[in-house]
Structure 1
Amino acid sequence: MRRDLRLFQVDAFADRPFSGNPAAVCLLDAPAEPAWMQQVAAEMNLSETAFVSPAEDGFDLRWFTPAVEVDLCGHATLASAHVLFETETLAAATPARFHTRSGLLTVGRRDEGYEMDFPADPPAPCTTPAGLAAALGAEPVAVLQGRVDLVVRLADAASVRGLTPDFAALRRIKARGIIVTAAGDKPDCDFVSRFFGPQVGIDEDPVTGSAHCTLAPYWAAELDRDRLNAYQVSARGGRLSLALDGDRVRIGGRAVTVFTGVLHA
């Protein structure tokens, strides 16, 4: 039976259209089959498509790249909360509560933006995978392993901006994603990063909220402070505010709806 479902495209970690990271958000009236959600995500062909359905005490939330389902996605969570608030499904004073494969995630309104409460994922030093430096085209200063992502620190922000990776070679590195980072080179930016995820069908993600669950504890220790400003230096770019709070990271950002439509499925 065909259903008509509301579908939104939102630029997350952005204060204007055509910047930040685009995510599709599909509002469901009940949970859907994973195979169908994967087909929709492939059709949307964005780094993530989020599916939001009503649940007891909040909403169920799942995220799909065009190729696979993922356990955690920051920008599509931000986009989902933005849609719920913008459509007045939630009152402005009521935090969005999402039940996910990574546990309960909450998002609240903050001034002109939003603040997400995510689990921290401190990385630990690890052996540099064979072929990593050649695939990136840069020599790491340090390599660390988070729960699912590798963190690669380079000498400076210019090196991060200038990377032109060999994505076929990066695909052979066993990690959900490869986060490349360096200290910031501007007064309002503590560190920069880029995120490469060819193993999950995303060569480069424009702005990756979940990567900052790993970056925030790393840079908080390096810089000896728990509040940080970050910039992901992809072509679209995106700014994030971060606060480390024990084993949680509060990630702040803004979002803009680019278009809305109806999915006939």
Structure 2
Amino acid sequence: MKVQHIAAFSNGPHGGNPAGVILCDGLPDTSVMQKAAAEIGYSESVFAAPEGEAWRVRYFAPKVEVDFCGHATIALGAALAQQNGAGLFTLDLNHARITVEGHLSKTEWGASFQSPPTHSAPVAVTVLEDAMALFGLNPANLDPRIPPAVAHGGGDHLILALKDRKTLHKMRYDLAKGQILARRERYITFNLIYAETAQVFHARNPFPLGGVYEDPATGAAAAALSGYLRDIEWPHKGSITIHQGDDMGIPCRLMTEITQQRGASIRVSGSTRTIREPQLLEI
């Protein structure tokens, strides 16, 4: 199989979250895709094959399949635009149908996707206590304007809003303990955020469920956060920008557009760049 190595949500010629993109005539067996994702080694790889008027899409982390991955979707949209020309592509995921719009020009390469529907709910007290202990936080560290919540944008993400940027920068946790909590609660990521302004956020996204300590850019979490901000009537004015990966030395920028309709899809956009030449992988 031919693997494209594309960084999504790049910041100009720098940063971006790497994804493996594999365009196929037909999807391989699940075991083959899981083994390939483990060998590629990125936080997610995406496999896509034409099926009718859409593309059948599946996402794999090195250790587990996930139903939706935002940065891999951006990488996929860019790859489809490069192969087929700029345009809108329909994607059939495991549990949702979404679209991604890929664009390609002399100066810009990237994509925008429409997320699955969003929703959010409060966090159970005992679960919040476990999460706070995992990251060494106490109630005084939290921003009361954005209460802890489980936000969904294709998967569940635990949102913890912090009062200051310094606390976010110092984030540490035990990966093994994080895996236990994430598996128990079925959290795709833990989304720790800091609101610099009403429309500019800084984020760190541990991904222990997939065996990844931290993701430098997480489009699904960006969609989930944006849906949650709409639910709590945050003054987002229709869009937010998320700075992620800076604390890892991998600067990423994610832009979201938020309509007024509660529960509606979120549009998430980002630029892409090629990391290395395509690779032939034998599994």
What is the TM-score normalised by the length of structure 1? 0.89
User: Match of 2:151?
Assistant: 146
User: Match of 2:256?
Assistant: 242
Assess if the C-alpha contact under 8 Å between 2:115 and 2:223 holds in 1.
yes
User: Match of 1:166?
Assistant: 174
Separation in structure 1 between the aligned mates of residue 31 and residue 177 of structure 2, nearest angstrom: 29
1:98 partnered with 2:106: no
Assess if the C-alpha contact under 8 Å between 1:120 and 1:214 holds in 2.
no
User: Match of 1:24?
Assistant: 20
Change (3 A) 1:40 1:18: farther
Counterpart selection for 1:155 from 142, 158, 163: 163
Assess if the C-alpha contact under 8 Å between 2:19 and 2:42 holds in 1.
yes
1:83 partnered with 2:82: no
Assess if the C-alpha contact under 8 Å between 2:14 and 2:251 holds in 1.
no
Separation in structure 2 between the aligned mates of residue 263 and residue 125 of structure 1, nearest angstrom: 43
The worse-fitting range, judged by mean Cα deviation, of 48-57 and 231-240 is 231-240
**Once the two structures are superposed, what CA deviation does each residue of 1:229-263 show, in whole Å capped at 9, x if it has no partner?**
11114411311111113301000100011121222
The worse-fitting range, judged by mean Cα deviation, of 94-103 and 58-67 is 94-103
Larger relative helix fraction:
2
Separation in structure 2 between the aligned mates of residue 237 and residue 120 of structure 1, nearest angstrom: 28
Q: Which amino acid counterpart does residue 257 of structure 1 have in structure 2?
A: T
RMSD: 2.0
What is the TM-score normalised by the length of structure 2? 0.83
User: Match of 1:256?
Assistant: 273
Following superposition, the deviation at residue 6 of structure 1 comes to 1.9
Separation in structure 2 between the aligned mates of residue 196 and residue 249 of structure 1, nearest angstrom: 22
The worse-fitting range, judged by mean Cα deviation, of 237-246 and 47-56 is 237-246
**Once the two structures are superposed, what CA deviation does each residue of 1:3-42 show, in whole Å capped at 9, x if it has no partner?**
xx22111010014556110000112111210011000011
Separation in structure 1 between the aligned mates of residue 12 and residue 200 of structure 2, nearest angstrom: 23
Give the count of matched residue pairs.
Answer: 256
SS at match of 2:258: strand
User: Match of 1:56?
Assistant: 52
**Once the two structures are superposed, what CA deviation does each residue of 1:172-212 show, in whole Å capped at 9, x if it has no partner?**
32223211112026x9x621111112122122111000001
Q: Which amino acid counterpart does residue 178 of structure 2 have in structure 1?
A: L
Separation in structure 2 between the aligned mates of residue 200 and residue 240 of structure 1, nearest angstrom: 21
Assess if the C-alpha contact under 8 Å between 1:131 and 1:169 holds in 2.
no
Assess if the C-alpha contact under 8 Å between 1:15 and 1:256 holds in 2.
no
Separation in structure 1 between the aligned mates of residue 65 and residue 52 of structure 2, nearest angstrom: 23
Counterpart selection for 1:230 from 242, 264, 277: 242
Assess if the C-alpha contact under 8 Å between 2:6 and 2:75 holds in 1.
yes
Change (3 A) 1:109 1:40: closer
Change (3 A) 1:224 1:82: closer
Q: Which amino acid counterpart does residue 138 of structure 1 have in structure 2?
A: L
Following superposition, the deviation at residue 143 of structure 1 comes to 1.6
Assess if the C-alpha contact under 8 Å between 1:232 and 1:239 holds in 2.
yes
Following superposition, the deviation at residue 224 of structure 1 comes to 4.5
- Gaps (5+ residues) in structure 1? none
Assess if the C-alpha contact under 8 Å between 1:191 and 1:230 holds in 2.
yes
The worse-fitting range, judged by mean Cα deviation, of 9-18 and 33-42 is 9-18
Separation in structure 2 between the aligned mates of residue 215 and residue 207 of structure 1, nearest angstrom: 13
1:118 partnered with 2:115: yes
The worse-fitting range, judged by mean Cα deviation, of 59-68 and 141-150 is 141-150
- Gaps (5+ residues) in structure 2? none
